[in-house]
Amino acid sequence: MAVAAQDVRTDASGTATRILDAAFEAVATFGLSRLTMDDVAGLAGVSRQTVYRYFDSKDALILALVAREEETLLDGVRVAHREAPSLREAIRRSVLFCLQAAREHPLLDRLLASEPQVLLPYLTTRAGGLIDRARRTLESLVAERTDVRPELAARSADLAVRAIVSYTLTPSDEPPDQVAREIARILSSAIERRRKEDAR
C-alpha cells in the first residue's frame, strides 16, 4: 500500500524518507521529465518494487516530494509567525520567509527555468492539496493571534497563500521584504478594519 504524503514523517522504518531523499537527488541530477523509479531505487539503495510499495507511481512520488518540501516550509512559517509581536509583523515575517526560501531552494529556480511545463502543474492546477494545507496552516496561525471571524481568517490565509505562490512563480522586481511588507499591510489592515466595524 502506498504511503500518503502526510504519513512519511511517521514511517518508523525510515524507508519512505530515504526514497524521498533519493527522489530529491534524482530530480537534481536528471530533472523531472527524465526521472525514473529505477533511478530513485538505485539512489535509495532499495529495489524498484520497494519504491512502488511506498509510492505507487512516479506521480505519487513527486507529489509526496512536493508535500515534504512544503511541510519544511510550513515549519519555518510557524516559527516566523509565532515569534512575531503583532499580526502584521507575523504576516510579514511569514511571507518573507516563504519568498526567501523559494529563492534559495536548490531545485525550484532551476526547474522553473528548465522544465516549467512539468513543474507548474504540481504547484498550481494539481496543487489543491498543497494550497489547502498551506491555507489551513496560515488560517490556524491567524486565529491564534486575533479574534477575527473564522471566515476572515480563512479568506486572508487563502489570499496570502495564492499571493505567495504567484510571487514565487513570477518574482517581482521589488525586493522580497518590500513585497512581504505590502502583503502584510493589506491583509492585516483588512482584518483589523472589519473587526472594528463589527464592534460598532
The per-residue pLDDT for range 107-125, each reduced to its tens digit, is 887 888 888 888 888 777 6
Q: Please compute the mean of the pLDDT values over residues 189-195 and round it to a whole number.
A: 64
**Hey, CA dihedral for 38, 40, 43, 44, is it positive or negative?**
negative
d(CA 94, CA 82): 9
d(CA 151, CA 90): 19
- The pLDDT score that the predictor gives to residue 169 is 84
pTM higher than 0.85 for the full model? Answer: no
Residue 150: count other Cβ atoms within 10 Å of its Cβ: 10
- The pLDDT score that the predictor gives to residue 190 is 80
SS3 state of residue 178:
helix
**Between 113 and 2, whose confidence is greater?**
113
pLDDT band per the 50, 70, 90 thresholds, residue 196? very low
Crossing angle for the helix pair 87-104 and 58-82, to the nearest 10 degrees: 140
- The pLDDT score that the predictor gives to residue 92 is 94
Residue 17: count other Cβ atoms within 10 Å of its Cβ: 15
- The pLDDT score that the predictor gives to residue 122 is 79
- The pLDDT score that the predictor gives to residue 1 is 40
d(CA 118, CA 59): 11
**Between 98 and 111, whose confidence is greater?**
98
Q: Please compute the mean of the pLDDT values over residues 120-131 and round it to a whole number.
A: 75
135-169 per-position pLDDT tens digit = 999 988 888 876 566 678 888 888 999 899 889 88
Residue closest to 102 by CA, chosen among 196, 172, 6: 172
Residue 129 has pLDDT above 70, yes or no: yes
d(CA 161, CA 196): 25
Residue 193 has pLDDT above 80, yes or no: no
- The pLDDT score that the predictor gives to residue 40 is 97
Residue 178: count other Cβ atoms within 10 Å of its Cβ: 12
What are the CB-based long-range contacts (under 8 Å, 24+) for 142-146?
142/87, 142/90, 142/91, 142/191, 144/82, 145/81, 145/87, 145/90, 146/87, 146/191, 146/195
Q: Please compute the mean of the pLDDT values over residues 85-111 and round it to a whole number.
A: 89
pLDDT band per the 50, 70, 90 thresholds, residue 86? confident
Residue closest to 33 by CA, chosen among 125, 119, 124, 102: 119
